[in-house]
Amino acid sequence: MVLVRETVMADWPTLRDIRLAALQDAPEAFSSTYADQVRFGPEQWQQRIARGGTFLAFVPEAIAAGPAGMACGYPRAPSLVELISMFVRPQARGHGAGEALIDAVLGWARAREAASVHLWVIETNGAARGLYERCGFTATGERQPGASRPGPDEVGMTRPL
């Protein structure tokens, strides 16, 4: 069973911990770096929570304490939400946390009357691309340099709501 909930202000230490874990586990997948975000104070984490759309997943059977993963929805335009900061801890993968987080972001986007959700994924990350495809995302044909250089490009994917 996966529990997903939107963050509240008191979650800032938990959000910090899962985000820093993501940046250490898969630095090539994010435009931010561990070195930059480890210096963030409480106010920066609380600002992220205040904008809304940041979700934590909990999988009791996969992780004894703390969140299994996180994902964020970020409004890019009145009808477009970007799925960003998607991460599931390695020991929690395969338990449905990724699908549950994506579903939470899709619901958040629908509540804001977005028409679609867009994301970028490293082209060589077959597991992530497979997850997004299972959740209804399709490739857009867009490409951009990966978050880390040198490295593989990112490809755009979208899902209508």
Distance CA 58, CA 42 (A): 22
Quick one: pLDDT at residue 10?
Answer: 97
In percent, the amount of the chain with pLDDT more than 90 equals: 83
Alpha-carbon dihedral angle through residues 10, 35, 66, 84, given to the nearest 10 degrees: 80
Q: What CATH number is associated with residue 48?
A: 3.40.630.30
Residue 71: pLDDT over 90: yes
Residue 128: give the domain boundaries: 3-160
Q: Provide the pLDDT confidence category of residue 85 given band limits of 50, 70 and 90.
A: very high
Quick one: pLDDT at residue 62?
Answer: 60
First vs last C-alpha separation in the chain: 25
131: its two tokens:
């997850």
Quick one: pLDDT at residue 60?
Answer: 79
29-43, 52-66, 127-141: least confidently modelled range: 52-66
For 91-111, give the secondary structure using H, E and C: HHCCCCHHHHHHHHHHHHHHH
Yes or no: say if 63 and 12 are a contact pair by the CB < 8 Å rule.
no
**Total structural domains in the chain?**
1
Quick one: pLDDT at residue 28?
Answer: 85
133: its two tokens:
């495809």
Q: Provide the pLDDT confidence category of residue 154 given band limits of 50, 70 and 90.
A: very high
- For residue 146, what are the contacts with CB-CB under 8 A and spacing of at least 6? 28, 122, 152, 153, 154
Q: What does DSSP assign to residue 153?
A: P
The CB-side HSE value for 66 (13 A sphere, CA atoms) comes to 16
Distance CA 156, CA 143 (A): 6
Q: What is the CA radius of gyration of the chain?
A: 15
Quick one: pLDDT at residue 114?
Answer: 97
